[in-house]
Chains A and B, each alone.
Chain A
């Protein structure tokens, strides 16, 4: 579409647009006037009308005092990522855009909008912003916390690296954190009493003065703690660090680390009035549990839940990862198999969990699926507890972790094992159970959520006369030769792909979460393939939708339910 921006501006009919001036082909200066205020802005149109314009506030004195305007004066109007634009109406787009900018600025000028500015304090800074990682959860308590710093401790400017809570220990199982073996120093977390405005455009040039102003907002009753800390660390140094935080009305405190450094060795900045410090500000990549879970959409209420997974093959391993990512706090993984090359196209774990180095005493290879899953999950997800049990379920009937489970998920696949486990779980009083399995050849998969006090796995194999070989959910008729082997009988496997296992695991994981949050159970979920099937399928397969929900009932002839 060929649009003349000039023509558009000429055609604008906006009562609040006092005048405008063209700077160049894509930049225009505008003067806007509302009931209460007058504003000078610059609008830049690039890729218009497929992209919204960008605008800057030219009234520099107000920068640092208005919400949604960052240190460069950029006016942050919409979350542009998720916007849909009717590009056939460029004039309307431009008119509405300018109207919205004016509305935003007027709104930001209201006293009541100060909260918004304080809440987005960290977003105000965009120039040369530096970030470091933090595993510390800042609350309104003054504390001594740990900071890893660059190893060159003699240096006059020693960069901060990672903050954590010494009382909770170093988060070494997560990602490659254990490789951060830098020097640790103790620093102060100082919670300011109220939110303080970010530095204005002018103050940005003298950050040290800005930081010194913050001392006024340190609660008076913290002075004992600070003095104690200073007396302990009364040595002169080149580098000092303080983590400041301040309350936001929306929870999670604003936080930033101030790095003070000086050529000469000097006393702590809170100890003595120093004028020759250089200052660097660091914002934090938050890694604390509450924040990460909220950010990732996982559910904090699930963090005190315990799930056992029996069978950690292609389906069970995927479930364990899905539940970990959903925020479940504790997983007990039960499986007595080891991971081999044959598994890597189907199992959640892949080649990075296999070992190709020669054995030696220093390196004990632990190649059990449960142990490897533990390592992988803990590397990916912090703050989760994993209990790996390299064992057969039958040996774990008195296992404390199993018995404490809120829900047990059975992903062993074998019908006879399922029948056995079903009975034993009921005897143990572990009534909240999910069974899940794939059908062969990618035909489909099923997951059933049960309260064993109401119905059970064996009910699926029970008709009006009693036990039958036929599972009422089945998509394939019985007795077809489905197993494959590539290297002789020992290599027999049932063919199904990673995508099939993931689809089944997804059903089981969703059921698990539903059962935990809404106590929803007694339901079978099935998925079936889109493609044509060469095997003989059941009537249910033909009649069912791509995803099917079936409510389950106890069968009067079920041996287990009527015992």
Chain B
């Protein structure tokens, strides 16, 4: 059983990218970028008369077109801000702090200084992640480190954001295959949303899942389930046992600079937990495939992906429930 129709319906429910949604997000991002431009208009590159200017770069799931509708309406949009400076002209944390200070003047939002980016959170439920880059004559570097990180951890890191987006898009030149890949990413993100707490670094970074899925994508015509099983099994084999701690470890490298482990934030216990969940994912996907009853297969996939995964059309709850010997009503007083 491959449940292709159910996956298609599911995808319609979870995908981010209707015209309105994109429009709103774009507007909000552009407002912020325009505001930043305005606030920086009198800034100069230190010790020069050169104006401080930047260009913006779409990145993240928005640019890759792999976004899902967020839980609790917490929409996010990633944008790169590439300053026309060299690493020598501006210290990374000083430039990052400048952006932080300029944006942190509005009481209606919260601005956070994170390691890879500046996050601007709005009360009405969305946030913009701004990654700060130096253009460096097209040798782009990212301003890395937290505000209070030690000096040696605050630096310009070589980074290839454009190349990463392109690498993901290059998964296939065939439109159908590319579409299947992007949809599978969305399914995997829904799995992550359901099975990991949003506290701390419990959940694996989405870019990591996107990269692993890209590494192991193998097109199965009209069959998302087989593609997902194929990917998940191989994701599982990316883990290695640490014989000392008896915990599973994972190290997946960014395919572009700075080529570091995309799961660097996760502790060993969290990595081990990640492994257990992948193991469970593989088991359930296979159970669903082996299930004879469409209803039951859908119910298994609901446990994997959440209640937005449709029940099978064969499952007419309302009619069937009336003739059940017992059934829950939801009444209370």
Contact = CB atoms under 8 A, between A and B. Distances in A.
Do the two chains belong together in a single complex?
Answer: yes
Contacts, number: 87
Contacts of A562: none
A455 B330 CA distance: 41
B243 interface: no
Nearest to A301: B125
A249 B326 contact: no
A297 to B, nearest CB: 11
A140 interface: yes
B328 A83 contact: yes
Contacts of B197: 195, 247-249
Interface string A63-105: 0000000000000001101111110010011011100000000
A193 B269 contact: yes
A52 B324 CA distance: 14
B284 interface: yes
Given A96-B325, A114-B276, A194-B269, A253 B332 contact: no
A219 interface: yes
A107 B304 CA distance: 12
Given A112-B304, A194-B273, A96 B324 contact: yes
Contacts of B304: 112
Contacts of B300: 110
A219 B267 contact: yes
A247 B284 CA distance: 23
A111 B267 contact: no
Interface in A32-87: 52, 78-79, 81-86
B328 A79 contact: yes
A262 interface: no
A93 B287 contact: no
Interface in A8-42: none
B269 A115 contact: no
A112 B303 contact: yes
Contacts of A122: none
Contacts of B18: none
A280 interface: no
Given A110-B280, A247-B199, A217 B269 contact: yes
Contact of B330 (A82, A96, A113): A82
B195 A78 contact: no
A95 B280 CA distance: 30
A84 B195 contact: no
A84 B325 CA distance: 8
Nearest to A92: B325
Interface residues of B, number: 31
Interface residues of A, number: 37
A114 B325 CA distance: 30
B245 to A, nearest CB: 10
B326 A86 contact: yes
A193 B267 contact: yes
A99 B191 CA distance: 28
Contact of A139 (B199, B269, B330): B199
A220 interface: yes
Interface string B304-333: 100000000000000000001111111110
B250 interface: no
B326 A85 contact: yes
A248 B303 CA distance: 15
B280 A78 contact: no
A193 B270 contact: yes
Interface in B179-223: 194-200, 202
User: Which one of B199, B280, B332 has the highest number of Cβ atoms from chain A below 10 Å of its Cβ?
Assistant: B199
A97 B327 CA distance: 11
Interface string B271-315: 001001001110110010000000000001001100000000000
A111 B283 contact: yes
A268 B332 CA distance: 47
Contact of B326 (A93, A112, A220): A93
A95 B325 CA distance: 9
Interface in A217-256: 217, 219-220, 247-249, 251, 253
A216 B270 CA distance: 12
A97 B325 CA distance: 9
Nearest to A86: B325
A220 B268 CA distance: 10
Give the 9 A-B residue pairs with the shortest CB-CB distance, closest first. Answer: A247-B197, A111-B280, A140-B199, A92-B325, A112-B280, A93-B325, A85-B326, A194-B273, A247-B199
13 contacts: A78-B326, A78-B328, A82-B329, A82-B332, A83-B329, A110-B280, A110-B283, A111-B276, A111-B279, A140-B199, A194-B202, A219-B267, A247-B202
Given A111-B279, A139-B199, 16 more contacts: A79-B328, A82-B328, A82-B331, A84-B328, A85-B326, A89-B325, A110-B300, A110-B303, A114-B280, A115-B195, A193-B267, A194-B269, A247-B197, A249-B194, A249-B195, A249-B196
